[in-house]
Structure 1
Amino acid sequence: MFDFDQYLGFLAFLTILTIGFWLMIFLLTFVIPYWIGGAILEILKEKRDAKKAKRNQ
């Protein structure tokens, strides 16, 4: 059915596909929400500091 080099190519393809799948799951569930949450907190902190500086002037 498969030659040995075709078998190795198929295994390499499945390995790359699986790594890509789990990397995408990891990025979508942990990294991107952490990044967005940190950006929102940073924006809120800057607005709070600007409001505090304006009030102190």
Structure 2
Amino acid sequence: MNKHVLRIQYYTRKIVQLGAVHPTKRNERWSKRLYRLLAYKKAMHEQLVSHMKQDLTHS
């Protein structure tokens, strides 16, 4: 599970870095990357939650 947490932390940092880009430098490519990172982070979080629920039911 630690591996999942580290991945979520990594992508959270990447989103923060991407958000630090000056608004005049943001373009369509920037938007696509932001939405892709957010979707990936959300999917990883949901996967982590489902794994935690499975661990609790098997304990």
TM-score (norm 2): 0.54
Aligned pairs, number: 36
Instruction: Using the TM superposition, give the Cα deviation of residue 24 of structure 1 relative to its aligned residue in structure 2, in angstroms.
Output: 1.6
- After TM superposition, give the deviation of residue 33 of structure 1 in Å: 0.6
| Off by >6 Å, runs of 4+ in structure 1 | none
Structure label with greater radius of gyration: 1
Q: CA–CA distance in 2 between the matches of 1:47 and 1:24?
A: 33
In structure 2, the partner of 1:49 is: 51
Unaligned runs of 5+ in 1: 1-19
Q: Could you tell me which residue of structure 1 aligns to residue 28 of structure 2? A: 25
Q: Within 2, Cα distance between the matches of 1:53 and 1:25?
A: 41
TM-score, normalised on structure 1? 0.56
Equivalent residue letter for 1:33: Y
Measured in 1, the distance between the counterparts of 2:28 and 2:47 equals 30
1:1-57 CA-to-partner distances (Å, cap 9, x unmatched) read xxxxxxxxxxxxxxxxxxx76x622111x1011000000001100000000000000
